[in-house]
Structures are given as structure tokens and as C-alpha cells.
Chains A and B, each alone.
Chain A
Amino acid sequence: MKITRRGFIRGAAAAGAIGATGFPHIWNKNLSLARAADGEIKVGVLFSLTGTTAIIEESLNKATILAIEEINAAGGINGMKIVPVIEDPASDPATFAEKARKLVLSDRCVSVFGSYTSASRKAVLPVFEKRENLYFYPTLYEGRECSKNVVYTGAVPNQQQDEFVPWLVEKFGKKWYLIGSNYIYPKEENNYCKKLLEGLGAEVVAEEYVPLGHSEFSSVVNKFQSLQPNVIFSTVVGDSVVALHRQYRAAGLDPAKMPMASLTTSENEVAAMGGEAAAGHFTSAPYFMVWDSPENRKFVDAYKARWGQDKVTHFVSEPSYFQVYLFKQAVAKLAPSDITPPNIREAIKGESMIAPQGKVQIERENLHTWLWPKIGQCKSDGQFEILKQSATWLKPEPYKAYPNMHCTEAGLTES
């Protein structure tokens, strides 16, 4: 078929007309209409259930569903039930964007909970900014983002590293080997790490990035042996973490002398590599499954009762869980006719609760979360021993590595 210009215009006009009548949301700017009709509040749940990151995102999906079911069982929000619309974006950023559009436009969700990788968050961001909707993102990430349409409940670099790096330097020494997967997150974290190390007078003997999904670490282990760093700072992600730890252990390296310090190795990854391979290494995160608090015991018991006794909770599934409760608190402050994404955003600023990790709060300025960084050492049973918790909760500073820049309510500012 040949496409002429006139034919194209005619077709486009017809498509436009069908779109305008068939899909009222395209021209209806007043998206808030009937948001909370019939005593239901629709929210989107957007975690990959298939594809490469399904391994971890399944657990985030489960934590989110658990929170929604608990809230509904306890009477919902002011008597209204939360109705989750679950979509599977299949670990593919383009599909993430498409499903986000569907959730916001045709399902008319007031907010969406979702994403694990930064790539998928970046992919859905335009949808939420354009449609003035709200996205709840539970993952620790590299910071350096400033959006009034995203509520970030995971840690940013300063919340994982400010205590961790000085502690490691003091305990093990000043020769550091930085190894990460080759994409934006490890590079930004290492950027911040190098700033901290410089202040401490420590030295980076190597900085190296392996391809995503890399599983042949013999060259890297070889370099560990020849350079003999005091600390291996790892921001390797995904199934590469498993290969790295197992090959480190098979090479006979000793965590007591040359530990790996990670921002990304959780109970989930440890379960896959076997506790023996992880034992002795360190992770910094605001949450560990063994954290002893009444809120966490309740969370872990509920999670296992709902999804299986062999399941573990970890530092991304915990924010997936508590962010639904923060959403609930914000919505509970609104009258049913006022439940719109912009109103929820205003209502959630400064909102706080006792999460499994401790008391958390949404920072007014940048919608990130005040968290409680902890340092854990892995034991051979696959759980962590918490060695240290920071004395106070830590303010989220997504631009801390960039001293002139600040994320404020008005957006990104430079001084």
C-alpha cells in the first residue's frame, strides 16, 4: 500500500476523531473526575513479573500486594477499598512506559507503585510529569533526580555511604577497589564514594565496570589477588552478584582481610549464591530482614504467611511495603472528591510512620525519604548480622555529590 500525504492526513484525522470520542481522557483535562467513585481507589502496581529483573521485582510486587490487602482488611482508607491494577511490564523500559500510560490514562489510577531499575523509572517519568500523576518508587538509586511526580522511598548515595565508607576505612584500610556493573547507578555511587575517600585520604587502586549480566569474573578475581586492596567496594547488580561472590570464594580469598562492601547485596541475592559464599562480606542498607522491632516482626510474619515460609524480605521490598501505608495516610487526609494525584502529593509531604526499619518521613523539599542506614555483615545462614545503625535518621540529599545543586519544591536549583 502506498501512503500519500492526503491519505495520511485523512487517516490521521479519522484516528484522531475515534480517539477523541472513544477515549475521553485524551481531551478531558479534568482527570480527577470520578477518581474515587463507588468507594474504590484505583492504584497501579507496575513490577516486572517476567524478564530479567523479574527475579527481584516479583518480591516487590508481593510486598505491595501484601500492604494493599492489609489496608483493605483493616477497613480501607476512610471506608474506601484500594483496588490494585496489576500490570507486567516484562523488564522492558518501553513496555514500562506503555503500561504506565495505560494505568494513568485508561485505568485512571490515582498513583502507581512500581519499578526496580533506574532505566524503567526514567522510561515512565514523562508519563507522570505530563499527566500530573504520582509514582511511588521503592528502590535505592543513584540520586540526582528531581521530580515532583515521584515519591522516592529507597536510599540515595548519602544515606548508604556516609557512615559506611568511613567505617570501612577505619576498620580495614585505605586501599580501595571499586567494581560495578556498567551503567549509571554504579558510576554515580562510585562518584560519591570517591569524594568520601578523598576526604579520608584513602586511595582508589582500581575502578572497573563489567557488562550487565556478566558472569565470568576470573580476570577480576585475578586483579584482586595481584592488587591486594583492603576493601572491594561493589556496586555489581543482578545475577552478576552471585557469580562474583562464588568465584571470589572459590579462589580462596578471605573476607576477613579483603572484604567486599556492597550497596546492592540483599538477602535475596544471598539466597541465590548460598550463605557460604556471602559470609563475612558487608552491606549497607536501611533495612535487613533480621532487624529486631515489633513492626518488622509483624511485616516478616505477614509476608511469610501470605507468600510462603521460605521467602525473604529485603531492603527494596520493605519500602515497597511501607510506601503503600504512606500513600494511605496521605489519602486519608483528603475528602473523597479531592483525591487527585496533585492533592495526594501535597498531603504526603512531611508524612511519617513507623516502618519496619524505624520511623521514616517524606522530605517536603524533594519527596525523598528520611531513612535509618545500617551496616550488616552476612553470615553463613544467609541472614545479616547488624553491626551498626546510624545514631539518627538520615536526611535524603539526592544531589550531595554536586555541591552547587539542590532539589527543591520548585525543582532543581543551582547556587
Chain B
Amino acid sequence: MSLVVTGLSIASILLLVALGLAIIYGVTGVINLAHGELVMIGAYCAWALQSFFGIGLLASLPLIFLATALLGWIIDRVVIRHLYNRPLDTILATWGIGVMAQQAVRLLAGGELRYVEMPEAMNHPVSVLGVEIPIFRIFILGLAVALFGLTWFLIFRTSLGLKLRAITQSREIASCFGINSNRIYGLTFAYGAGLAGLAGAVVSPLKSVAPEMGTTYVVDAFMVVVLGGVESLVGSVASAFIIGQSSSAVAFYANDTIAKALVLLFIVILIRFRPQGLFAAKVRS
């Protein structure tokens, strides 16, 4: 039982980090290697708001979402917008943006590890089904589910989402129907960046905050998205769940090093036979 709960808690963090990446890639086709740095910037925002303005972590979440979304929107308007027809070049461009973001943070905030306080009310465990788990991890799980729900609602139940799905299927034809794809792409990138920032802010009290922290998250996020199938939201959830559960099980019977290696190996083998991932969106060709 404790294995499953631990797996769920790992999965919720994976999903939170991967959601933004999945949306950006699924809609715009941009492989955003700066995703990890957006996570990192979210964490630094949490630190800055807390230590300079005394705003607690929970209260600062909406601000952080807006700030990183704005940053994402700027990145999109200044750089990515010009590369929408050259998806391969976006890899290099976003990687460069990531490097610059890391160094900028280092210059502004220094190289030291930073400290983000956990909300005091959440800094202890509760017993769930006979297992002691930290309240904060339950909160992360809840947030991941809520954000997934919100994203699903935006895409499948709003007119914005309808346009977005139209663009995903065929950008040219959607444009013929008067949909401003440029604007939708910008908003998508901003939304994905905002989700990344939120993820960073939420994991910051559990993990460490440093300019390099983004690197590990971008690897995790890509694992989830590739395994799940790049255009499928449900796929991201399923693959985060699978990776979380298998990591937790292998780590329990062996250790985390072996878990990391085995999970990667499993993904490599799987995409050899199912390159489109577990849940590929069905698109008429």
C-alpha cells in the first residue's frame, strides 16, 4: 500500500512538471528545452516573493502563474513566433533561452541554493489508508489533478479550446476559417509556461532551489510526454502514473539508481515498438 501511495506522489510531481511541456508540444509542435528553466524560474519567484515581500507560498501561486505565463508569452513573441515553421530550430533556440535564463538567475540571485519555506500547516504527515504521508504531497496531488481538470476543460469545453484543437489538426485550414493561429499559439505557450512556473513553485519546498535545477525536470517531463504520446493529455496522466508507480516499486525492492535506469530502458524499448507513445491522438491523414 505504501508503495502505491509513494508512486502516486511521485506521479503527481511528474504530471505537474510535464503538463506544460505536453500542451506546448501538442499544440504548437515546439520542443521546449527551456521548460526546465521555466520550472526553475517559478521556484525562484516563490523564493523572491517570500523573502522580499513576505508572501507565503500558497498566496503567491497565482502571482507566480501570471509572472511565468507573461515570461512565456514574451519568449514566444520575441523568439519562438519566428520559428513555428521550423520545429527543429526551436530545439536550439529554446535550449539557448534555457542557458541564458540559468545565467541570468545566477547573476540576479547568486549561485547559492535558496530556501523556500513550506506552509507551516502542511509540514507534517497524515495517515491515509494506514500510510503516513506528508500533507504537502497530498496538496501537490490535488493541485496536479485540478490543473489537469482545468486544462482539459479549457481544451474541450471552451471556444478557445475549439480553435486550439482546430489549429492542432490543420493550421492552414483553421486560418482559412478566420482563426488567428498566431494569437492562439502565443496564449498556449504562455499557459504552458505558467504551468511550468507553478510546478516549480510547488516543488520548491520539497526539493532544492538552484539555477541548475531545471535540467533534471526537463528530462523527467520529456520522459512523461514521450511515453504518453505527444498530443494526448490523457496519455500524460497515464504515463506519469506508470512512471511514478514503477519508479516507486523498483526503488523499494532495489534502489533509485536502478529505478531510474530501468524506467528509461523500458521507455526506450517501448518507443521502439510504439514510436507514437502509449496514447496517440487519432488524426485523419
Identify the A interface with B (CB < 8 A).
49-52, 54-55, 58, 182, 208-211, 213-216, 218-220, 222-223, 225-226, 239-240, 242-243, 246-247, 249-252, 269, 271-274, 276
Separation in Å of the A71 CB from the closest CB of chain B?
A: 26
Q: Does B213 contact A (CB under 8 A)?
A: yes
By the criterion CB–CB under 8 Å, are B137 and A250 in contact? yes
Given contacts A211-B256, A252-B125, contact A219 B247 (CB under 8 A): yes
Contacts of B247 in A (CB 8 A): 216, 219
**Interchain Cβ contacts under 8 Å between A and B, 21 examples:** A58-B112, A208-B255, A210-B256, A211-B256, A213-B216, A214-B256, A215-B216, A219-B6, A219-B247, A219-B256, A222-B3, A222-B252, A246-B118, A246-B206, A246-B207, A249-B123, A251-B134, A252-B134, A272-B115, A273-B208, A276-B123
Contact of B257 among A210, A249, A252, A274 (CB under 8 A): A210
With A and B bound together, what is the CA distance between A261 and B113 in angstroms? 21
Binary contact track B106-132/A, C-beta < 8 Å → 1, others 0: 100001111101100011110000001
Separation in Å of the A86 CB from the closest CB of chain B?
A: 16
Given contacts A251-B132, A272-B114, contact A219 B251 (CB under 8 A): yes
By the criterion CB–CB under 8 Å, are B113 and A55 in contact? yes
Given contacts A215-B207, A226-B2, contact A271 B252 (CB under 8 A): no
Separation in Å of the A62 CB from the closest CB of chain B?
A: 12
Binary contact track B80-124/A, C-beta < 8 Å → 1, others 0: 000000000000000000000001001000011111011000111
Contacts of B248 in A (CB 8 A): 218-219, 222
Separation in Å of the B104 CB from the closest CB of chain A?
A: 13
With A and B bound together, what is the CA distance between A223 and B210 in angstroms? 27
Contacts of A213 in B (CB 8 A): 216
With A and B bound together, what is the CA distance between A223 and B247 in angstroms? 14
Q: What is the total number of residues of chain B having a CB less than 8 Å from a CB of chain A?
A: 42
Query: Which of B115, B132, B205, B213 has the most C-beta atoms of chain A within 10 angstroms of its own C-beta?
Result: B115
With A and B bound together, what is the CA distance between A113 and B115 in angstroms? 30
By the criterion CB–CB under 8 Å, are B115 and A55 in contact? no
Q: Does B259 contact A (CB under 8 A)?
A: yes
B2: nearest chain-A partner, CB-CB: A222
Given contacts A182-B257, A215-B208, A243-B206, contact A250 B123 (CB under 8 A): yes
Given contacts A215-B208, A243-B206, contact A225 B2 (CB under 8 A): yes
Given contacts A242-B113, A252-B132, A273-B115, contact A52 B6 (CB under 8 A): no
By the criterion CB–CB under 8 Å, are A250 and B206 in contact? yes
Other than the given A215-B206, A246-B118, A250-B136, 4 more pairs (CB < 8 A) read A209-B257, A218-B6, A219-B248, A274-B115
Identify the B interface with A (CB < 8 A).
2-3, 6, 9-10, 13, 103, 106, 111-115, 117-118, 122-125, 132-134, 136-137, 205-210, 212-213, 216, 247-248, 251-252, 255-257, 259-260
With A and B bound together, what is the CA distance between A272 and B111 in angstroms? 11
By the criterion CB–CB under 8 Å, are B208 and A247 in contact? no
Where chain A touches its partner, the secondary structure class is helix
By the criterion CB–CB under 8 Å, are B125 and A251 in contact? yes
Separation in Å of the B81 CB from the closest CB of chain A?
A: 31
With A and B bound together, what is the CA distance between A24 and B249 in angstroms? 61
Contacts of A220 in B (CB 8 A): 251, 256
Query: Which of B6, B118, B207 has the most C-beta atoms of chain A within 10 angstroms of its own C-beta?
Result: B207
By the criterion CB–CB under 8 Å, are B125 and A239 in contact? no
With A and B bound together, what is the CA distance between A343 and B112 in angstroms? 38
Separation in Å of the B24 CB from the closest CB of chain A?
A: 23
Contacts of B112 in A (CB 8 A): 55, 58, 271-272
Given contacts A219-B251, A239-B213, contact A274 B117 (CB under 8 A): yes
By the criterion CB–CB under 8 Å, are A250 and B118 in contact? yes
With A and B bound together, what is the CA distance between A52 and B215 in angstroms? 11
With A and B bound together, what is the CA distance between A220 and B256 in angstroms? 8
Separation in Å of the A296 CB from the closest CB of chain B?
A: 22
Contact of B124 among A54, A182, A208, A252 (CB under 8 A): A252
Separation in Å of the B251 CB from the closest CB of chain A?
A: 4
Contacts of B9 in A (CB 8 A): 218
With A and B bound together, what is the CA distance between A269 and B115 in angstroms? 10
Separation in Å of the A307 CB from the closest CB of chain B?
A: 12
By the criterion CB–CB under 8 Å, are B208 and A242 in contact? yes
With A and B bound together, what is the CA distance between A55 and B111 in angstroms? 5
By the criterion CB–CB under 8 Å, are B207 and A211 in contact? no
> Which 4 A-B residue pairs are closest in the complex by CB-CB distance?
A272-B113, A219-B251, A242-B208, A239-B208
A270: nearest chain-B partner, CB-CB: B115
By the criterion CB–CB under 8 Å, are A211 and B260 in contact? yes
Separation in Å of the B12 CB from the closest CB of chain A?
A: 11
A51: nearest chain-B partner, CB-CB: B212
By the criterion CB–CB under 8 Å, are A211 and B115 in contact? no
A210: nearest chain-B partner, CB-CB: B256
Contact of B125 among A208, A246, A250, A273 (CB under 8 A): A250
With A and B bound together, what is the CA distance between A216 and B216 in angstroms? 11
